[in-house]
Chains A and B, each alone.
Chain A
Amino acid sequence: MPTLSTFDVVALRREFPILQQQVNGKPLAFLDSAASSQKPRQVIDCLEDYYRRYNANVHRGVYKLSEEATFAFERARGKIARFIGAYSKREVVFTRNTTEAINLVAYAWGGANVGPGDRILLTLMEHHSNIVPWQMLAQRTGAKLDYIGLDGDGRLNLDELDTKLTEGVKLLAVTHQSNVLGTVNPVAMLAERAHAVGAKILVDGAQSVPHMPVDVRALGCDFMAFSGHKMCGPTGIGALWARRSLLESMPPFLGGGSMIEVVDLDSSTYAEVPARFEAGTPAIGEAIALGEACDFLANVGMEAIHQHEQALLGYALDRLASVEGLAILGPQDTKDRGGAISFTLDGVHPHDVAAILDGEGVAVRAGHHCTQPLHRYYDVPSSTRASFYIYNVAEEIDRLAVGLEKARKLFN
């Protein structure tokens, strides 16, 4: 077993109550953090503390509880802004998740900036949440979609940029790290190329913000979307980051309370950003707990977390190479690649692989992982995915490999 970390993983695991249990009589090996991560005690306690001690609506009451809730809510916004290197907390819009953040951009920015014949450039490795909102925008506006393909290694075919990322492209929407292939895309370079043709760039950070140091300013992107539940935070809370001037140029998304200045019978004026994009009562406790999750991750250190996952990834790639009939989708080495490994196992359907692994207490995901176009490109209906996070250890990868051998034997 390799020396994995600059932090004590065994001690850190103890911070995650859910990991202390047995599943089917075996200790739980949770290898599905790409779908949703587990939560440390600190985050669970924070959420509970809000509901037990100062639950009240924000930005409304003049009483003590509401003041405290508002203060904590806005402080969380600041923590999230710092976590991703934003200039100001005004650049952080709370959303329910990545999906809602992308829909917000497609509706509010897209509606005002995209017209008939304009092009929106995506990639073949996007999650459905970074495809369908753009299809809907294209249907509303008459814009066209185009896709950057992949090379044989499961990376973006950057040669296609010359012909596809040209004048007329209004937006490049690209994932920072593929939730299936693990591929990390060269976002800073893509941002430069997009800006050179007058396009904006939206980065789907659902799989990068939880797993590596992300600095939106250094990346030079225009929009970044991510989900709290994949980064040790609660479900129901996520964020959209965008430069303030860009947010200020955008019309609202949903209409309602909190996003207005003055409401008359026929029309209204809208609040400043980011409130303009936060209609209705937000997920207050969840937002506060996401701020706590940022503290938790920052305290361990995003670089240390990244190194830990890289070590696990290297170990897993080696270990899985010894499983006969196993084929990994995407890059086969650790370079520019994160800790999600999707694979097929000869003669065994992914559902059966996952069910057999479940019997061993190993939780993995089977299916298309919300990337049907990508699976179609690889000509498989589905795959099995193991993904790693801060709390995983090499022994769990050994158990994964043993379970896979067992599945092979059962079916051959």
Chain B
Amino acid sequence: MDDMYREQILEHSKYPHNFGTLDAPSVSHEEHNPLCGDRVRMDIQIADGVITDVRFSGKGCAISQASASLLTDELIGMPVEQAKVYSKDDLLELIGIPLGKNPVRLKCALLSLKALKVGLYGVGHIHDDDDD
């Protein structure tokens, strides 16, 4: 547990980066976690195939908020094609906490990635590895 709530996670959850919304995002998508009712919305600005700005909003546990915060930092400046293949493992490595095999907490950690992927691919095209 103490591993899970490391300084970085606590900092990002208390003071998330890129929190908010964009006025006219190229892509915007919200995902819900039916297990706990949490939601994360990702607003993405795209120019010339590159993500120029990202904001996330919503409510969730420290893990989901910190993960969204870390993910948005990572995305700004990234080509869309690269973002589309940004994987679950990439994000888990970035978060760097031992979520182990806890499927509930994994859902929390990956909610923002799911919002990103569904947003970028269009609803109905969720990449397999977003959701297990």
Q: Which chain A residues have a beta carbon within 8 Å of chain B's beta carbons? A: 24, 349-352, 355-356, 358-360, 366-368, 372, 375, 381-382, 410-411
Query: Which residues from chain A contact B37 at a C-beta distance below 8 Å?
Result: 367-368, 372, 375, 381-382
Nearest chain A CB to B60 CB, angstrom units? 6
- Mostly, the B contact residues are mixed
Who on chain B is nearest to A380 by CB?
A: B37
Query: Which residues from chain A contact B14 at a C-beta distance below 8 Å?
Result: 411
User: A411 touching B10 by the CB < 8 A rule?
Assistant: yes
B2, B5, B35, B39: the one within 8 Å of A352 (CB): B5
Q: Any chain A CB within 8 A of the CB of B4?
A: yes
- Mostly, the A contact residues are helix
Q: Which chain B residues have a beta carbon within 8 Å of chain A's beta carbons? A: 1-2, 4-5, 10, 13-14, 35-39, 59-63, 104-105, 108
User: A381 touching B1 by the CB < 8 A rule?
Assistant: no
Query: Which residues from chain B contact A411 at a C-beta distance below 8 Å?
Result: 10, 13-14, 62
User: A359 touching B2 by the CB < 8 A rule?
Assistant: yes
Who on chain B is nearest to A407 by CB?
A: B5
State the CA gap A85–B96 with chains docked (Å). Answer: 56
Known pairs A366-B36, A367-B36, A411-B10; A355 contacts B60 (CB<8 A): no
B1, B2, B39, B63: the one within 8 Å of A351 (CB): B63
Known pairs A411-B10, A411-B14, A411-B62; A351 contacts B4 (CB<8 A): no
State the CA gap A146–B40 with chains docked (Å). Answer: 31
* Sample of 18 more A-B contacts, CB < 8 Å, known A349-B60, A351-B61, A368-B37: A24-B1, A349-B38, A349-B59, A349-B61, A351-B36, A351-B62, A351-B63, A351-B108, A356-B1, A359-B1, A359-B2, A360-B1, A366-B36, A381-B37, A382-B38, A411-B13, A411-B14, A411-B62
Nearest chain B CB to A400 CB, angstrom units? 15
State the CA gap A411–B11 with chains docked (Å). Answer: 9
State the CA gap A162–B81 with chains docked (Å). Answer: 61
